[in-house]
Structure formats: structure tokens, C-alpha cells
A and B are shown apart, each in its own frame.
Chain A
Amino acid sequence: MEEPALPVWKKWLEGSGDQVIFLKGFFRNMFRGGFEWSEFVRQCYEIGYKSFTLVGITSFIMGLVLALQLRPTLVSFWAESMLPRTLAISIVREIGPVITALICAGKIASGIGAELGSMKVTQQIDAMDVSGANPMQYLVVTRILAATFMVPLLTLLGDVLGLIGGFLAINLTGKISSLLYFHKCINSLTFTDLLPAFIKTIFFGFVIGFIGCYKGYNSNRGTESVGLSANSAVVAASLWIFVIDAIVVQISNIFLYQ
């Protein structure tokens, strides 16, 4: 006899409960001895270095396009000189972190989801577990921490390349020296622009690693579930990025900008 299907709200609650238990498992294992340093470094390389090109190119093009789009509007207001400042603030505060995080959600969360999902399907996680090793510590803690550590660095890189893209765009249509452009960019930024942006990238990195690991680690048996884990990891991580972004912006508005 088939088990009756659970209503959607019960499934959602069950899933949320599972995520809380998984989160608790992550923190418990993070502070347990025997941290897997070599695996953490390997994951930093996999997550950070291997996403470097994609994040770099995308951010560069975003900066370039943003400058090209902004310029006519600013010109119509006789405010062309505001272009470096506008670019710097929008890239550092919002576009850089969010675009980098979304790219990482697509690349890293899906990669982790698919990798752990396929390890689950081929019983590699079970093999670690029954051998007495700790798969949470080896697979989950290292990946979540590596994502938390690398996404802010990738964002920093993305911001710089976005600004370089903007510089190139301005020089395609007008002329500005690199010294003046970057001087204007840096001078327009304050601590209150950098701090919330940096803090939210840490949360973005954490959520990307966490969702990827959770979806992969808890994927069902069967090859189809590997694809589903990867897919749902991207969707859930992308949604969480926007939710976190909205929350951080609200909090920064209350405490920093008012």
C-alpha cells in the first residue's frame, strides 16, 4: 500500500526542519577537532580559482555595459562627470556582489550539489560514514567554509574588473585618464558602502555552499536526483541571495545611511 502524499506545507516544514538539523550538524562538525585543511584548500582552489575567469569576464562586461547604458542618461542631465562615481557606487554596493553571487550560485552551488548528489547515489558518502570517517566534516564543512571564504574574494575581483570595464566604456565614447577615473571612483566610496557589501558577500558565500551541500547530501537514490539536486541548489541559492540582499540593504539603510 502506498503511503499518502504529504501536503505541501507539511513538506515545506519538514524540509525546513531538515535544513536546520543540517545547519546544526555543520556547526557541530566545524568546531570538532581534526579540521580537514588539505580538503579545504583544495575546495578553495576548486571554488575560487576555477570560477575566477567566469566571474572576471562577466563582471568586466557588466561594468562596460552599465557605463554604456548610464552615459546617455547622465549626459542628458549634464552630469557626465558623475559617471565614475555612479559606476563605483552601483558596482561596489549592489551589482558586483549580486552578480558574482548569482554566477557562483550557478557554478558553485550546482557543482557541489551534483558532486555530493552523485557521491550519495554511488554510496560514496555511505562508504565514508560506515567506515567510521566523518563525511560531514570532510565533505560539507570544507565546502561551505571554502565558499564562504572565496565568494567575497571573487566579489572583490569582480568589482575591480567591473570598474575597469566601466573605464573602457567611458574611453570608447569620450576620454578620461585612468588616474582621474579611479581617483573619482575611490573617492566616491565610503566605509558605509564597503562594509555592508562585504558582509553580504560572506552570507552569499555561506548560503551558496550550504544550499549546494544540503541538496547534494540529501539527494535521493537514482541518477535523476543528481540533476535535480544541482538544479534545485541553483534555484534555492539564487532565491536566498535576493532575500539576503533585501535584508542587508534594509538593515544598512536603517543603521548606516539614515
Chain B
Amino acid sequence: MERDKTINERKGLAVNKDEIVIHIKGLKKSFGSKRVLKNINLDVHRGEDVVILGRSGTGKSVTIQCIIGMLIPDGGELTVFGSEVIEMDERELKELRTKIGFLFQSSALYDSMTVRENLEFPLTRILRIKDQREIDKRVKEALDGVDLADAIDKMPSDLSGGMRKRVGLARTLIVNPEIMLYDEPTAGLDPVTSREISELILQMQKKYKTTSIIITHDMECVSITADRVVVMDDGQYIAEGSFDEIKKSKNEIVRSFFKPML
């Protein structure tokens, strides 16, 4: 509890326990005969940062891909802001996606565009901002936020892995999404850069007041960003709680995540 308080104080936000922004109940998803999600239940409250922890291939990314409508679940309930994602038509889904940011593991920067053009893209296509001064101001602000103002005219191929993550984060947050989904934000980075990215995620969550789901198996990232940790294995949740509660878990799979830290 003490730790939760510290995180919320650091974030400068309180989790609103009365408002559920993402509600998942009995979610199922299979690819052919392989059942990836067996029975997922999760409620995410406004302002909360939930980390989904689990080994590779346990269905973590599939869960967030279902939330944003990239994948259609086979069964169960999945509501975002009270609307059922499965029943949304193309227009409703597009509308929903403007409220959700998704940071890909690979950052997914558009490699034929400069950093500036990458950041302008969502402003002109999603927010439909026409005023170039407003666009320039927002781009500058977003890049200042991730401490990469100097990289504005660089191509993604000229950036390091950590810089690409920062630009990816800036591009996602530039439209002020209400929910952020992070797919392994620190994967492939050295420990120092990983820590910087985790701190940056926390900072950005404070600045933009987002609700987040973070998929990771980087325990330092979990310790820095999580209000609540959910551990997944074989398509279902096996443990849930604060970082400290999870750390004390007797479950062998959960304990195995902490072994490198102990």
C-alpha cells in the first residue's frame, strides 16, 4: 500500500476507482487450434497504470491488440469507455482509436518520414489541424517532452533504439490519448536506457494524465510504472496485486520473474 501511495504521489494523480475505462470479462481468442486467451478478466480504472507481466507467447500482446480492435476476440466481453469493442463498426472503431495511444515494441516510426513528419502525421490526419504554427508548436512541445528537440529533422534510421522509443512515445502522446497501451516499451534496450524510458513513461503519464496498460517482462519497468501488476500465463491470469504483493507471491511462475532481482 505504501508503495502504491508513493507511485501515485510521484505521478501526481489519483486512481479513480469509480470509473472503469476498460472492462474485460471472460475474453477468449484462438489462432487456429491454438487457444491464446482462455479466460481473461480485467478492469482498468481511470488514471490507473496496470502492468501485464508474463512470459513470451502467453497472450499479453494479444490482449491489448483486442482492446484496440486490431484483433477480434472469439468470446467474452470487452468494453472501452462503456462501449463494446466487438460490436463497433469501422467508424466507431476509428473514433475509439483516436482516444487510445499504442506504443509498439518496434516503435513503428514511419521510416520514409523525418521525425518532424512522423509527429505531424497524427496531428494532420487524426486531429485534422490545419494551422502550421499550431502544428509546429505541438511538435516542438512533444519533442521537448522526450528531450529530443535536436532530432526534429533526422530520419528514423539515424536514431538509436532509445531515441526511436522516445520519438514513438512523443508521436503517440501528441494527440493526448486518454488510454495508453505500451507493448514491451523497454524490449531490446540496455538497462540504463530501459530505466530512462520507464521513468519517461511515468513522467508522461503524469503530464498527460493517461490510463495505461503496459506489457513487459522488464521488472525494473514494472517497479517504476505499475499501480497494479497482473501476471499472465498460458492465456489466463495467475496473480494480481501491487508490485510488493506480487513480489511476495508463492506461485513458482510469478517468483521466477523476480529471480534475477533477488
With A3-B33, A124-B111, A126-B70: A132-B94 Cβ-Cβ less than 8 Å: yes
Residues of A near B126 (CB, < 8 A) are: 131-133
Residue ID in chain B nearest A129 by CB atoms: B70
Q: Is A122 an interface residue (CB 8 A)?
A: yes
With A130-B68, A132-B97: A122-B125 Cβ-Cβ less than 8 Å: no
Instruction: Give the shortest distance, in Å, between A44 (CB) and chain B (any CB).
Output: 15
Q: Is B81 an interface residue (CB 8 A)?
A: no
Q: Is A138 an interface residue (CB 8 A)?
A: yes
Residues of B near A133 (CB, < 8 A) are: 121-122, 125-126
Q: Is B32 an interface residue (CB 8 A)?
A: yes
Q: Is B102 an interface residue (CB 8 A)?
A: yes
Q: Is A134 an interface residue (CB 8 A)?
A: yes
Task: Report how far A79 CA is from B163 CA in the complex, Å.
Answer: 71
Contact status A122-B98, CB under 8 Å: no
Q: Is B104 an interface residue (CB 8 A)?
A: yes
Q: Is B106 an interface residue (CB 8 A)?
A: yes
Residue ID in chain A nearest B175 by CB atoms: A131
Range of interface residues on B (Cβ < 8 Å): 20 to 34
Instruction: Give the shortest distance, in Å, between A5 (CB) and chain B (any CB).
Output: 12
Residues of A near B109 (CB, < 8 A) are: 124
Residues of B near A131 (CB, < 8 A) are: 97-98, 101-102, 121-122, 125-126, 172, 175
Q: Is B110 an interface residue (CB 8 A)?
A: yes
Interface size on A, residues (CB 8 A): 17
Task: Report how far A133 CA is from B106 CA in the complex, Å.
Answer: 19
Task: Report how far A122 CA is from B112 CA in the complex, Å.
Answer: 13
Q: Is A81 an interface residue (CB 8 A)?
A: no
Residue ID in chain A nearest B125 by CB atoms: A133
Contact status B108-A126, CB under 8 Å: yes
Contact status A127-B70, CB under 8 Å: no
Instruction: Give the shortest distance, in Å, between B63 (CB) and chain A (any CB).
Output: 14
Further pairs besides A122-B111, A138-B125: 19, Cβ < 8 Å: A1-B33, A3-B32, A119-B111, A122-B108, A123-B108, A124-B108, A124-B111, A126-B70, A127-B104, A127-B110, A130-B70, A130-B97, A130-B100, A130-B102, A131-B98, A131-B126, A132-B97, A132-B126, A133-B125
Listed in ascending order, the chain A residues whose CB lies under 8 Å from chain B are 1, 3, 115, 119, 122-124, 126-134, 138
Cβ contacts A to B, 18 pairs, < 8 Å: A1-B33, A3-B32, A119-B110, A122-B106, A126-B70, A127-B104, A128-B110, A129-B97, A130-B68, A131-B98, A131-B101, A131-B102, A131-B121, A131-B126, A131-B172, A132-B94, A132-B98, A132-B122
